[in-house]
Structure 1
Amino acid sequence: MSDPVALTDPHSAGDAELAFEGALRPKTLDEFVGQRRVRGQLQLLLRAAELQDRTPDHILLAGPPGLGKTTLAMIVAYEGGRPLRMSSGPAIQHAGDLAAILSSLVSGEVLFIDEIHRMARSAEEMLYLAMEDFRIDIMVGKGAGATSVPLELAPFTLVGATTRAGLLPNPLRDRFGFTAHLEFYDEAELELVLARAARLLGLDIDGEAVAEIAGRCRGTPRIANRLLRRVRDYALVHGARPDVTSVKAALELYDVDPLGLDRLDRAVMTTMLERFGGGPVGLSTLAVSVGEEAETIEAVVEPFLVRIGLITRTPRGRVATPAAWRHFGLAGPGAEPSAGGAVPLVDDL
């Protein structure tokens, strides 16, 4: 049942896993599952650029992590037969960093900048001119003798990805010819993602088991693929067929409940329900209570809990919904707490 090469040759096992990771990423829009509207819009944009023999417009991909922004950037380059250069906002902390990247681009190249909202402000301002006129101004010398030297750039397509589009300055956002907002996947789409990944893994898994995993993926293909591999590992170690029973056992072992809540999600919810009576409770108070950073709670945990209706955000703090009380089997109010509760400090919201 086990593969002796995988057991005796760790390099072969690592190469196989890397090959699997690469194979999971679709190479064309036709292979890409979900995001039907965005796929149609991108297809039109790329086809129009091809017919006019020009570089496609700059593209901004906005949405939560794990929905396929990096994959779509790779597809834009692949479908146009263009080279791809990849970087990230946190790596571009000076205008000189961006100038070095832009000046080395070849004509028609696709530049992908992940988390573009985290670029340094000086680099953002340089990008305005580069995106609009394919030119940057480089300062030579210092003080009163400094002069600005224009540098012409090869035409390129910038694909920016962000999880927080609201943090992008308006002048930068307006220079993108097309902005795509990626949505969470429904369970039917996730089942297609999982079925494709299972084929690549050579995993014989039935439809009921796939549906069980899809229901716990938080609407995110990246999480779906990760959970599928944990199910594969469980079936391999226990010599079990990956049916719905082993799927439930594997995901219970990895602290993923039927709603997709993980350990941190449950810690946040049980703290709200048991220690604060369902709220209102401020963000910083909640973060200290569970031993996590407030930014992690706000950016990673809270969006999912709000989306599935377990908490609501109010001007006075976070409040657990009746569905949260029911899910955790706790006796609680049948409706959200009234406005008569204690009001948290303003800076605690």
Structure 2
Amino acid sequence: MDYEAVTDFEADDETLSALPQIGEGEVETTLRPRKLDEFIGQPRVREQLELVLESARRRGVPPDHVLFSGPPGLGKTSMAMIVAAELNAAIRITSGPALERAGDLAAMLSNLAPGDVLFIDEIHRIARPAEEMLYLAMEDFRVDVVVGKGPGATSIPLEIAPFTLVGATTRSGSLTGPLRDRFGFTGQMEFYTDSELDLVVRRAATILEIEIDRDGSAEIARRSRGTPRIANRLLRRVRDYAEVRADGHATRKVVRAALEVYDVDELGLDRLDRAVLTALVRSFGGGPVGVSTLAVAVGEEPTTVEEVCEPYLVRAGMLARTPRGRVATAAAWEHLGLPAPAGVTRGEQGGPNLFDQE
């Protein structure tokens, strides 16, 4: 059977996005680890969290409030659920954008039982009135409910059960100082190594009953941008290809052919990543160039280029952010098969140009 890429598959530009996609919830729930010893990667955070939880269990009190920070797709939500599982406690899940009013938060807090875990995803986006109420709840386990309006308004203190707040954020710098200081433990989630992602892929393949060999799982891991969510998504796309175009078994040859169909190259770059590099190198001589101009050149929004493409390109050493704009390194020129201009080495910027700079 010919395993070469076929053109009648439609590539998905969201395949390499670390953000959760519509319809992935059920699959992600299936793949989430249930206990701390099942969690792959993040050894430092796991060790620190284990000490926090074990100490609280021995003292018979809820642990300190916990904050997980780091890029999307690294397991912050899974860690929050593991905290509740390790404490044998119920978990209530919400998100920062959903808490627009202090009353919404007060209602949720008043329904917590002793020892429950409240998980707030994207906690940096919580509304200011709700955040100010959260300060008192985290420290003194009570909230002040305002009844009435104007001069006749009165504040009624409401005692709430001791609980543990688990927050997750992709932008820890956007958290206000008073909120950040109220967390007793902060776990900084790091990108995964290829060997850790290989374990993630093989574990997911076992759960989803996907036949894949060691070389195939290693190939997926190498192209997953250090992110488990992307690794699991690529595994499912490889499964689709293997079932339709192969014999159902994901060998390295099948994996390479499948990822070629979905526009994922050897370094884990997708169509948009390569479009950004190509525009930067071919149209702007390697930079520096402003992100808005670069976004127009590839037909995307500036926020998409800045938040989806740039983090990995910078981490891969192909793009640099400078005060004058974005610049391509020698590695970007080499990846596109083009000779780098004289004087440009890995990690250094290209020459000046006449385009706008940001």
TM-score (normalised: structure 1):
0.91
Q: Following TM superposition, by how much is the alpha carbon of 1:340 offset from its aligned partner in structure 2, in angstroms?
A: 4.8
**1:92 counterpart = 2:104:** no
- Considering Cα pairs closer than 8 Å and 6+ residues apart, tell me whether 1 or 2 has the greater RCO: 2
Long gaps (5+) in structure 1: 1-16
- Identity percentage over the alignment? 63
Q: Distance in 2 between matches of 1:319 and 1:239?
A: 41
Paired residue for 1:24, among 27, 31, 43?
31
Paired residue for 1:260, among 265, 268, 271?
268
Q: 1:200 matched to which residue of 2?
A: 207
Paired residue for 1:274, among 274, 282, 287?
282
Q: 2:300 matched to which residue of 1?
A: 292
**1:187 counterpart = 2:187:** no
Letter in 2 for 1:242: A
1:205-220 matches, within 5 Å, as: 205-220=212-227
**1:60 counterpart = 2:72:** no
Q: 1:50 matched to which residue of 2?
A: 57
TM-score (normalised: structure 2):
0.89
Q: Distance in 2 between matches of 1:90 and 1:134?
A: 23
Q: 2:47 matched to which residue of 1?
A: 40
Equivalent residues, number: 330
Q: Distance in 2 between matches of 1:337 and 1:55?
A: 51
Q: Following TM superposition, by how much is the alpha carbon of 1:344 offset from its aligned partner in structure 2, in angstroms?
A: 3.2
- Cα distance, 1:73–1:327 mapped onto 2, change above 3 Å: same
Q: Distance in 1 between matches of 2:105 and 2:26?
A: 31
Q: Distance in 2 between matches of 1:344 and 1:288?
A: 12
Q: 2:11 matched to which residue of 1?
A: none
Letter in 1 for 2:234: L
Long gaps (5+) in structure 2: 1-23
1:1-349 matches, within 5 Å, as: 21-240=28-247, 241-334=249-342, 335=344, 336-337=348-349, 340-342=352-354, 344-345=356-357, 349=358
Q: Which runs of 4+ in 1 moved over 6 A?
A: none
Q: 1:13 matched to which residue of 2?
A: none
SS in 1 for 2:339: coil
- Cα distance, 1:48–1:153 mapped onto 2, change above 3 Å: same
Letter in 1 for 2:251: D
CA contact (8 A) 1:311 1:320 kept: yes
Letter in 1 for 2:166: V
Letter in 1 for 2:35: T
Q: Distance in 2 between matches of 1:325 and 1:81?
A: 53
Q: Distance in 2 between matches of 1:101 and 1:284?
A: 41
Letter in 1 for 2:222: G
CA contact (8 A) 2:287 2:350 kept: no
